[in-house]
Amino acid sequence: MAPSRRDLQLTPLSGDTAAEIGAMEEVRLLDSYDDDDNDDSLSKIEEGSGGSGLRKIQVGITGMTCAACSNSVEGALMSVNGVFKASVALLQNRADVLFDPNLVKEEDIKEAIEDAGFEAEILAEPVTSGTKTQATLVGQFTIGGMTCAACVNSVEGILRDLPGVKRAVVALATSLGEVEYDPNVISKDDIVTAIEDAGFEGSLVQSNQQDKLLLRVDGVLNELDAQVLEGILTRLNGVRQFRLDRITGELEVVFDPEVVSSRSLVDGIEGEGYGKFKLRVMSPYERLTSKDTGEASNMFRRFISSLSLSIPLFFIQVICPHIALFDTVLVWRCGPFMVGDWLKWALVSVIQFVIGKRFYVAAWRALRNGSTNMDVLVALGTSASYFYSVGALLYGAVTGFWSPTYFDASAMLITFVLLGKYLESLAKGKTSDAMKKLVQLTPATAILIEGKGSLSLNFSLTTSTIQPFFEAQFFRFVGEREIDALLIHPGDSLKVLPGGKIPADGVVVWGSSYVNESMVTGESVPVSKEVDSPVIGGTINMHGVLHIKATKVGSDAVLSQIISLVETAQMSKAPIQKFADYVASIFVPVVITLALFTLVGWSIGGAVGAYPDEWLPQNGTHFVFSLMFSISVVVIACPCALGLATPTAVMVATGVGATNGVLIKGGDALEKAHKVKYVIFDKTGTLTQGKATVTTAKVFSEMDRGEFLTLVASAEASSEHPLAKAIVEYARHFHFFDESAEDGDTSNKVSQNAGWLLDTSDFSALPGKGIQCLVDNKLILVGNRKLMSENSITIPDHVEKFVEELEESAKTGVIVAYSGQLVGVMGVADPLKREAAVVVEGLLRMGVRPIMVTGDNWRTARAVAKEVGIEDVRAEVMPAGKAEVIRSLQKDGSTVAMVGDGINDSPALAAADVGMAIGAGTDVAIEAADYVLMRNNLEDVITAIDLSRKTLTRIRLNYVFAMAYNVVSIPIAAGVFFPVLRVQLPPWAAGACMALSSVSVVCSSLLLRRYKKPRLTTILEITKE
């Protein structure tokens, strides 16, 4: 499930210069970029002020797959008289529409979208911030029995037509469907029923409801135990309802989280049972994995059953006639038929109607829903062979003319198709291996430290103060116990032993160690963790014992969000898949038509003597000869390979990306990245390390150095900008020679800020200029030349020359004025990342043009660009202006990628065709980005583009396999080359080829698992494709 807006996490504020401080206050982290004027007018409209009478609504749109779709919708909306503004968000599948209700109605807007070829639904008014109302739920359902893209289209159509369903997406490769629905209109049971009524198997895997718990219960041995357990549940406060499956031992409990927590619920059941029952929380992914395994096992059992009956049939048909004893028995007449005919008929009937029942059921549900799929072809081909053979036997019994039967063709065909389906299910399971590895990162249990009171994160602890930690007045140690990791609550105190996995996201409150975070972030070097250091659930503690306080659990945890993003990406459709969907919709009717032409053509040819009778099988007729060609055409054609070509490759690629710290949000983003022409880099925190340090502080007045630094630090203390922090740290170090300025001890910094800084008032950030405030009722200005000029501050020539020298050496000059006079200049440097120059050269070799866009001054920007090898520089650009730069590059149809690290880059990330948030760390839910790069390393930009190119190459190769197979095999099956080669493809061989074609496509996609991201030493070896 895609992360919701309430799960949004914001990265620390960052930007390019001190002049950009405060610009972030006007930027939203959303997938659209409305200008402030419209927002202001909207607020007035909604408040009832103003006379414009305009309204803004949100419209849910179904069917958009790429930017062309969103542009089409925008164009359709803007063409409606009365619509003033329309902004379509592709990934969110919705549009914000500003319109005049006197000129156009909501239904007119909906019809305009539907006329453009999309489904639309007017969404309810957005819930105000702070409420807990949940208008819709998102449920994930398993859908068994789908075989090709036609099945997917059929299920999606049925789900979307259900009342109360807002959105429905179905993925063939995972056999999953994600449905957003209104629980007040339709329940999950209604959705499951609709899936089953359509002829498929359906069940709920998980939803975003927070008041349901699925448990595995050990200890229920008989009816009495079950009654005892049900009695305990009935007595527990907060339990609304429960369902116990006594066969599987699964217990589903619906409870009120305001009354009882999940851990208290489990503890209550185990406590009331006096140790009789042992409960374990079941992960939804665990159920999904077991279901996948069960599907493969079921297909294997069907294949073995069919094979065990086909082998005797093969012996009767091929081997026994050459053994006198067996042949004598088989040709012995028993009633109207010989013993051999009776045996073949009986064996094939079991295979056809018992083992092969699934093909008839699937074919019927497809035809009932007005669609066709592979099962229709299999059922048609095997039925034609079976019923012809039965007809031949009956005709022979009546007339005495015995035509050859083809029972073996039907049996072997079903056997080979089942073999192919089994191999396909195994191969498809491999495509989600990366997802399974991510799920397995979370430890099963955790050690809970129990105590009274609460932990204070400001209490600095060392190894020698463990006893005061437990005896401190704010926390009294009681004991520790092992609990299920899925029962951890925010605020819990947890103990992590050396070599153990960290059970939840949190912060260290005691101890120090090194943690291996490679499995989550892709960073191979272990990271040092001390008090107040953040830790990520699923990572491995290397050495020392750590005590952590859990901060994020469940769906809020980083690992859960990574899994959610990968799931969402795997369920999305890449635009290139539209081709396969179209072919799948017409494939089966075309094949059946070709089979009829084959049957009629060979039959007419035989009737008019177009080919000699020697070509006919023994005792065969022109009709039988033609029928075998026709059946081969029906069963050899395979739409499954086309349907699997894209989703399997996307699944593998997104999984591989996640294991390398590159999170891809959808097939659309994955496809676009391969044709990126421009990559726009922010400067601060992207090309540079984002760790600004003051290198120079020069006073140009009678003020002494210490007084000057105190004055500047007091003004900058209210800012969160990296340059401001660097100035404050420099001033503190000057006054106190404070070594903690470099160790990240937040509590010490906060305490030391008090006492030596001056009181300030009227602080304000001036976007693109700097900051200003009052100290001792005198105005202090800290910023660039523009800020000084607007406040009539004269910059002397010698100061200007000093600032230019700083800028030419790739440093930012920060000018300070106090009480109307320029008092000094500070030079701030931000070192470049060591890989920046190599990555820029690698992009150039790949045919991608790097551009640097920064709010810094031109001299500094040019100096940094020269150092990394970037020729195209755009300087003194405000945050909102970066989006305009991107749009200017997109005018000629070029694909533009934006690489940024902060909230101020969100408009540009949203405007770019491919937005990449670098150095996201734990902030994996950045909605404005298409790619989330977990590490703060520019090499991952190369990885993202390279992985996209490799994936698109693999998808095209899959299409070549699938199309070439059908283009070559259908003419062979139809007998086009029979006059020359005199080789007829028997139906069972055609079935084997059909079954293996989809397996070959899935195996082709699995080759992406071998992908290795380019190393720093090999980046320069990448060439333009």
Cα–Cα distance between 519 and 538 in angstroms, integer?
Answer: 8
> What does the DSSP 8-state code read for residue 507?
E
Are 180 and 206 in contact by the 8 Å Cβ rule? The answer is no
**What tokens appear for 795 in the block?**
């910059």
What is the rounded CA–CA span in Å between residue 481 and residue 446? 8
Query: Six-digit token pair at 178?
Result: 């994600």
CA atoms of 92 and 94, how far apart (whole Å): 6
CA dist 826 → 555, 684, 732, 818 (Å): 45, 17, 15, 14
Q: Among this protein's residues, is 682 annotated catalytic?
A: yes
- Phi-psi domain of 710 (left: phi exceeds 0; alpha: psi -120 through 50; beta: other): alpha
Contact 208, 218 (CB under 8 A): no
User: Cβ(455)–Cβ(474) under 8 Å?
Assistant: yes
Residue 849: CB atoms within 10 Å: 17
Query: What whole-number distance in Å separates Cα of residue 447 and Cα of residue 493?
Result: 9
Task: Map 926-948 to HEC letters.
Answer: CCCCCEEECCCCCHHHHHHHHHH
To 10 degrees, the CA torsion angle through 454, 456, 460, 461? 20
In whole angstroms, give the CA distance from residue 238 to residue 255. Answer: 5
Residue 936: both structure tokens together: 């703060």
Please state, in angstroms and rounded to a whole number, the distance separating the CA atoms of residues 407 and 344: 7
Residues 863 and 855: their CA atoms lie apart, in Å, by 14
Is the CB of residue 532 less than 8 Å from the CB of residue 515? no
Residues 687, 886: Cα–Cα separation, whole Å: 18
Quickly count: other Cβ atoms within 10 Å of residue 616's Cβ.
15
Asked if 1016 and 935 touch (Cβ cutoff 8 Å), the reply is: no
From the list 30, 31, 87, 90, the residue with the least C-alpha distance to 63 is: 90
Round to whole Å and give the CA distance between 840 and 850.
7
Q: Which of 682, 830, 856, 940 is catalytic?
A: 682
440 Cβ contact partners less than 8 Å away, ≥ 6 residues apart: none
The whole-angstrom distance between residue 854's C-alpha and the CA centroid of its chain comes to 30
CA–CA gap between residue 747 and residue 549 (Å, rounded): 17
Contacts of 105 (CB under 8 A, 6+ apart): none
Which amino acid belongs to residue 565? L
Question: What's the Rg (C-alpha) of the chain?
Answer: 35
The structure tokens 């583009």 sit at 945
Active site members: 682
